Amino acid sequence: MPAFELVDICQRAGTTVERYRLHNGLVLLYLPEPRAPVFTYQTWFRVGASDERPGKTGLAHLFEHLMFKGTVQTPEGEYDRRIEEMGGRTNAATWLDWTFYHADLPAGNLGWLAALEADRLANLAVTPEAFESERKVVMNERRETVEDEPVALMSETLWARAIQTHPYSRPTIGWMADIEGLTLADCQAFRAKWYAPDNAVLVVAGDVPRDALLGTVAEAYGDLVPGHAVRAPTTREAPRTSPLHDTLTLPVTSERLMMAWQSPAATDADHPTLEVLNELLFEGDSGRLHRALITEGELASSHFAFVPEFRDPGLYEVGVELRPGKTAAQAEAVVLDSLARVAAEGISEAELEKARNRLETRFWRNQQTVQQRAQGLGHWEVTAGDFQHVFSVADRLAAVTREDV
């Protein structure tokens, strides 16, 4: 039976993570947590919406749905049934840089789960009828979550307009015309290219003995053949020298504003600085723009901001819902004025300390469960190429200075 090679062991913040690699390229991250009799089993693939070809948008997301359609040995529904029968839960998600699947179960269920996961990776069997049914499900999902939702439609338009060359301009769910044109053959080719052991990262965390884990996973995945997928090189978006403006006419009762600026990649030295800036602008009752837009300025009823954590540079996105009678132009002026003041006058030490403390507290709060810790490891392994980045997040935030902001 093939055996795993130990690549490295990381001991940080009271946590030990072991990284292994199988002969076919499969990476396994092991986080032992025997304090509770549960474990999480996550499979991350280094493929997302940004890896799709033009005209084939939505393929990564649609294929995520198809992974639950059964195999030659396992009928459709059996995977979910067995997990639910054991009191577990399962789900999946697709984003621009990755796709991941997870199952959370009581301890003692590793053997059959690993066999099922390896089986659907190697032997997925999707009928034309199942494909067509799921394609219609995704089309309805797009109608409900994007086309009938003004904020989602605005965000999709903004990313498509603001990003000219990078594939981040394409929506993860796909353009409707592309979804309508996808075929079962497209999905089979997508699977053959991307769903292989050397493009996957397994994260197993919880009450699972090391020797049992290594032997079980090696037996389940050892015969799988690597795919040698190579990501197409991406073109870095050129710095913008002038603003773009667009207007959508939608059936809403009050105006909405969405703005974006080019943002750094997740591993860029400027990324934690952007997080701090966003925190002191929008988060909490003391946020500068929260006060200017809502509590003092009385222009808006709500706002949001999104700092992406992507492999490549993306967009820092801000959204504002105006009160009746107020205009998007008024809100835009307030946002730009607040940013100009930060650039010209700086921020106080108290603002910086509060923003850093809130961000660090939120980070550690999101590391409380074994599922959350495993997800952090998987995310950074596929996004940054090294799970150990998760252990530097708090330190990077603490190092941000007023001058940086």
Q: Which pLDDT belongs to residue 1?
A: 63
Residues 18, 33, 64, 381: which is the catalytic one? Answer: 64
Closest CA to 55 of 186, 153, 220, 240: 186
Which residues face 318 on adjacent strands?
259, 305
64 is catalytic: yes
- By DSSP bridging, strand 200-206 and strand 27-32 are parallel
Spell out the residues 6+ positions from residue 146 whose beta carbon is closer than 8 angstroms to its own: 152, 153, 156, 171, 173
**Neighbouring residues of 20: CB distance < 8 A, sequence distance ≥ 6:** 4, 5, 6, 7, 27, 28, 29, 30, 214
Contacts of 352 (CB under 8 A, 6+ apart): 276, 280, 400, 401, 402, 405
322 phi and psi angles, rounded to 5 deg: -80, 155
Domain ranges, ordered by start, for the chain: 5-221, 256-398
Residue pLDDT, tens place only, 262-300 = 999 999 999 999 999 999 999 888 899 999 999 999 999
**What order of strands is seen across the sheet that includes strand 256-263?**
256-263, 314-322, 300-306
Q: Which CATH superfamily is domain 256-398 in?
A: Metalloenzyme, LuxS/M16 peptidase-like (3.30.830.10)
Please give the C-alpha separations between residue 339 and each of 176, 278, 343, in angstroms, as whole numbers: 36, 10, 6
Q: 366: which residues sit within 8 A by CB, 6+ positions away?
A: 372, 376
Q: Which fold has domain 5-221?
A: Cytochrome Bc1 Complex; Chain A, domain 1 (3.30.830)
Note the pLDDT of residue 297: 92
- pLDDT tens for each residue of 346-382: 999 999 999 999 999 999 999 999 999 999 999 999 9
The helix (run of H) or strand (run of E) holding residue 301 is strand 300-306
152 burial class (0-12, 13-18, 19+ CB within 10 angstroms)? middle
Mean pLDDT by 10 residues, the chain (405 residues): 88 92 98 95 98 97 97 94 96 98 98 98 96 98 97 97 95 98 98 98 98 98 94 86 92 95 97 98 91 95 96 97 97 97 96 96 93 97 96 94 97
Instruction: Say if 5-221 and 256-398 have the same CATH topology.
Output: yes
Cα distance between residue 24 and residue 3, in whole Å:
11
Q: Yes or no: say if 258 and 303 are a contact pair by the CB < 8 Å rule.
A: no
- pLDDT on residue 302: 95
For the chain, how long is the longest CA-to-CA vector?
Answer: 71
What pLDDT is attached to residue 213?
A: 98
pLDDT computed for residue 3 by the predictor: 81
Bridge partners, 322 (sequence order) = 300
Q: What pairing do the DSSP bridges indicate for beta strands 27-32 and 15-21? A: antiparallel
How far is the C-alpha of 307 from the C-alpha of 315, rounded, in Å? 8
pTM of the predicted model as reported, rounded to 2 decimal places? 0.95
